[in-house]
Structure 1
């Protein structure tokens, strides 16, 4: 089964569940749920229906493929997959406020349209809807024991996600962030939800904790590779593909892996001091400082370092997948996971 075939088969299940949950219970609340629907990519800023622009839906598809790879019924796991996506989107609504980001997926952010207070409330609503969606696992025949395991996994992920955001925000005014601190941040902020999506799919399908842990490691390493690749694209990505101007992360003085590498590498002391001088300037950086920073990063081999580390985590993800023996339809799902891992490492957006 190709990844394209998997998305074509599984995405309608996820979208149906999401749209059923994110809808107004009364016409007087249509504006409130409309903000959530806008963020999910189903309506425009006038709350008129549009062709979906809601992102990759990577996490729910990962959840369902892992369920199938573990021998489970994807229909049973749909509420878990949708819940993960709702948690992801709640975090994005809040992140945009905390980061002051005016755009999300090429459109104005929720807070930019309706104000921070309304956006916070909309994000809170998405979080609660994620919990309510998860309860529907029992309606699909999932045992109470498995439901409890899935619920505990998602709760843990939510807290780790918040911890990661705390780290990320605390790094904004710091110039002494090292690699271990950076990895601790992205492990929580990005990798945890991918890892938990994979784990939840297995927990719906199986009572085997070893299998769930192996898929968790697969998702975690995949998430680390994903974020590091995102760091590369945030500096050297093609604007035509990413939808963002070149070196956006440099402009905003983000402490991404290429920057952290130069600031901490013992053989790059001169480059580190030069980059520190630039990063001491107030954000957003101007074109001259951005170009100077890019020159420093290129000279130090920061891109190559980051890409090599991403490949390393990708290899670790596949090694975890190799430990999960399977056959038949489950094997086809596992092949879809391998293709997903390859596509994330080679992506340009």
Structure 2
């Protein structure tokens, strides 16, 4: 995995920069905002190198392409498209959620205002499609490009559905676990599933294999989000970079909290706790005790492991005996044991 990342992250970065370049002085600030979000420049648009996320989705795309016998070079435009789409969603999410910081620095809207941030996000959305169209220049067959475009478009719609549900949940006192799973299916799992499936398509996956790869990615994506939920409550602050119990203080409707809220015996007590006008770090021990009574950690962990296993089963359908030796399998195992 480390060797693969070291080999393919530089050409991926080059592809991203080519798509997001901008070359007109009059719109330099427009692209500067995009470059700022990508971690390439500071707030004065001076070049810097800053953490830019895991690049998980594009790497999965390139891995899937290689695992089915294709050349990852051909998949670089799709990998860039997936990463740009993901970052577009983050720019808009920050606005919609009112988050003023991402990756330890101010968000785009916090620096340049909501209208400009919306416009920068819109540009990234359009440029994600422009990136995907560069597949033709890499020798990808027209019918494959069209199939990738169809899946990519479906994924864009799924992202908006997931975000709609996420924002709607913020206005509701009660959300069921099933509703939550439907939300993260759109907001998180759809894009990870598409990343693997599109890589498989470009690599020439046999009929049906791309569908199994998509199921692998979707299951891993769901597990990945639930793992984030677990870390948001029980993660080590020195590793995650977040305050202990941050999601509790934010009253975030994550899976552990929803399980507690829906608990048949202790749900009323937890709902009463979260309905307090103000929650501080001093309230966390009480919250942890309530979560322990509902066994929400055990429930969320079990769900996470079940989904990871479903993903590995789908990968075995796709790759057969090679599955356990594949980079995709190794990546799933690494994700399952991550701490941040």
| Shift in Å, 1:20 | 0.9
2:59: which partner in 1?
61
- TM-aligned CA deviation for residue 286 of structure 1: 2.2
Of the three residues 301, 308, 311, the one matched with 2:302 is 308
Output one character per residue of 1:138-191: Cα deviation in whole Å (capped at 9) or x when no partner: 111111100000001010001001100111111112222111101000111000
Which range moves more in the overlay, 152-161 or 109-118?
109-118
1:37-52 alignment runs, 5 A limit: 37-52=35-50
Runs of 4+ in structure 1 displaced over 6 angstroms?
Answer: none
Unpaired runs of at least 5, structure 2? none
- 8 Å CA contact retained: 2:263, 2:294: no
Shift of 1:49: 1.2
Counterpart of 2:338 in structure 1 is 347
Distance 1:245 1:108 in 2: 18
CA contact (8 A) 2:68 2:205 kept: no
Output the CA distance in 2 between the equivalents of 1:332 and 1:108. 41
* Structure 2 residue 283 is the aligned partner of structure 1 residue 285: no
Kindly provide the CA deviation profile for residues 82-117 of structure 1, in whole angstroms up to 9, marking residues without a partner as x.
000000000000001111111111111111111111
Q: Equivalences for 1:330-341 in 2 at 5 Å?
A: 331=322, 335-341=326-332
Q: Does 1:319 align with 2:313?
A: yes
- SS for the counterpart of 2:326 is helix
Residue 87 of structure 2 is matched in structure 1 by: 89
Contact 2:323/2:329 (CA < 8 Å) preserved in 1? no
Q: Say if 2:256 is the partner of 1:262.
A: no
Superposed displacement of residue 333, structure 1: 10
TM-score by length of 2: 0.96
Alignment gaps of 5+ in structure 1: none
1:246 aligned residue (244, 247, 264): 244
**Partner residue of 2:229 out of 203, 209, 231:** 231
CA distance in 1, matches of 2:237, 2:295: 22
Length-normalised TM-score, structure 1: 0.94
Distance in 2 between the 1:233 and 1:179 partners? 18
Contact 1:68 1:74 (C-alpha < 8 Å) held by counterparts: yes
**Counterparts of 1:257 and 1:345, CA distance in 2:** 17
For the residue of structure 1 that corresponds to 2:318, the secondary structure is coil
CA deviation after TM superposition for structure 1 residue 288, in Å: 3.6
Indicate conservation of the 8 Å contact 2:210/2:318, yes or no: no
Larger relative contact order (C-alpha < 8 A, sep ≥ 6)? 1
Paired residues for 1:97-246 under 5 Å = 97-206=95-204, 208-246=206-244
Deviation sequence 1:205-253 (CA, Å, 0-9, x none): 2263300000001000100110000000111111111111111111111
- Secondary structure at the counterpart of residue 337 of structure 1: helix
